[in-house]
Each structure stands twice: as structure tokens, then as C-alpha cells.
Amino acid sequence: MAFDKSLLSSSIKTEAKKLGFLFCGVSKAEFLEKEAPLLEKWLNDNLNGQMNYMANHFDKRLDPRLLLDNAKSVISVGLNYYTPQKQSDPESPKISTYAYGKDYHDVIKDKLKLLIEFIKSQIGEVNARAFVDSAPVMDKVWAEKAGLGWIGKNTNLINKKKGSFFFLAELILDLELDYDIIPTKDHCGTCTRCIDACPTEAIIAPYLLDAKKCISYLTIELKEEIPTEFKGKMDNWMFGCDICQDVCPWNKFSVLHNENSFNPPQELIALKAKDWQEITEDVFKKVFKDSAVKRTKFNGLKRNIEFLK
């Protein structure tokens, strides 16, 4: 079926906004030539720690055409999760803002399915795959290519008008669309606030993260005991960490999300420091029933809480 590329690209972006996405951009599905040597060096230097999956499917990670036959386009979307709301007890072990509400994987996948259905309603059958942080796709690179922002010194994607508190996801499809060919310029300038603020010195150089030192890695990805060298350096984070985003000047432009699924349950916000110390598996299952925190499991969260003592 013939279709107007420009019109379809525009209508996809409009529909994405209707579905609640903060951004939507399109780039050409092609081999990531610039990123290939950078990724290879990062892995060879063992900066991925125990995240062995980062080394798996190396070729697919660099070429979306290996993830979908005849792939032509990568649609990148961003979904806001920012909230100024904090846990009520300032002494409580802290959870990263992104994990306050329902697991973002489920929320975004549902929206992307609706976006695929919309595209089909416009042009008929299309071969498309949705990816939400669970496959060998370089989310930030594709988002940068699509003009959604730039990859900052803290290695997060930053948008000049909205900051960085948003999730990234993609649709890869076998349709040729109008591509957003002018990526956003880097606006980090001489600022080093994220580097200076990281208590574990995980940002070992501008734009370079040693995951093995990152609090998010230590509290979520690391399956064994947290190395004693980080004792007293975790700034009371028990799941994830927001420090390098909290200090980023661009996040003064962050706006409250409008996704009800991301609102934290009251029992999570209300838990006191003492409650966390005494948390049972039953309470964990109740509070984090639909949460991304399930990923660390009860024993993992208990390990993190014990380490913060």
C-alpha cells in the first residue's frame, strides 16, 4: 500500500504524544559505526562488571537490522517519570524515583503496542518490534540520533527543555519514514556537577561510566555481596540512585509526569527507616507487587539495607 512518508511520520509523532510519550523521533535503521569501537573498548576494559548481557549479541546491539528482517526505521520515544515527591521519612533508605510506581517495562510496552496498532490502521500490515530496555538495543544512541537529546557526561540522555527523568524505548519497523537527521548538540559545556557529586566516583571521565562503581549497579545488577570499599559511600540508596540527575542543571526543567501508573503507593512513601530495617517478605511482595524493585528480589533488597547500616 502506498503512503505519504512525511504524513505518516508526522501522524506517528502526534499519536505518540496522545499516548502520553514526552518525545518521539525517527532515525534510519543502520549500523552504528561510531559506537562500535567505543562499546568494544568499554567491554574489554570490563566497565560492565557482571552485566555479561552487555557483551552478548554484540552485532545485534550495533545493527537493528539484525533484530528485525528488512528493518528500515527506529522510532525512539521518551516517557516522563519525574516527580518531586519523596519518601516521607528523610532517614529511610532511598529508592530511585523511576521505581516508585508500576514497572515501566509493562507501562511502556502497552503504549508501544497501541502505537503499532495505530500504524497498522494507517497503512495496513507492518513488521514491527517493540523494545523496552530488555534487548540488545542502544537506547540512548538511537534517541540522540532521533533528536530527543544528547548523551551527557553522566551517560544519561538529557533534553534541553525537559531534563533527563524519562524512560527510553523503541519501535523498529520495516517502513521507510522521514528521519530526524539533525541530532541535538551537546549542552553539558564545562559543567562537571555529576562527576563531582558521585560518591563512589563511578563517572571515571566525562561520558564514561565504570558500572562496577555505580550505586545503581551495586544495588540492582550485582548479585554477590557489595564490596566493602563502598561502605559509607552509598548515600543511603537501597535501590538505584538519582544523584547524577538530581545535580544536573538541566533537570530544573523537569516537569511532573502525567502517568498515573508511576504514582507511588502510599505504603511505600509512608515506610519509616525502622520499617525498612524490619521489612518482611510479605510486606515486600505487597508494596512492590507491580514494581521494578522486584528485580532485586527480597533478599537483594535486604542485603542492600543491611549494607547501609
C-alpha cell at 202: 563511578
E strand or H helix at 80: strand 73-80
Phi, psi of 76 (to 5 degrees): -105, 135
* 239 and 96 Cβ atoms separated by less than 8 Å: yes
Q: Is 110 a known active-site residue?
A: no
Distance CA 166, CA 82 (A): 7
Q: List C-alpha distances in Å: 120 to 12, 132, 250.
A: 11, 20, 37
Amino acid at 232: G
DSSP code per residue over 124-139: S---EEEESSSSS--H
Selecting among 133, 174, 186, 235, the annotated active-site residue is 133
Residues annotated as catalytic are 133
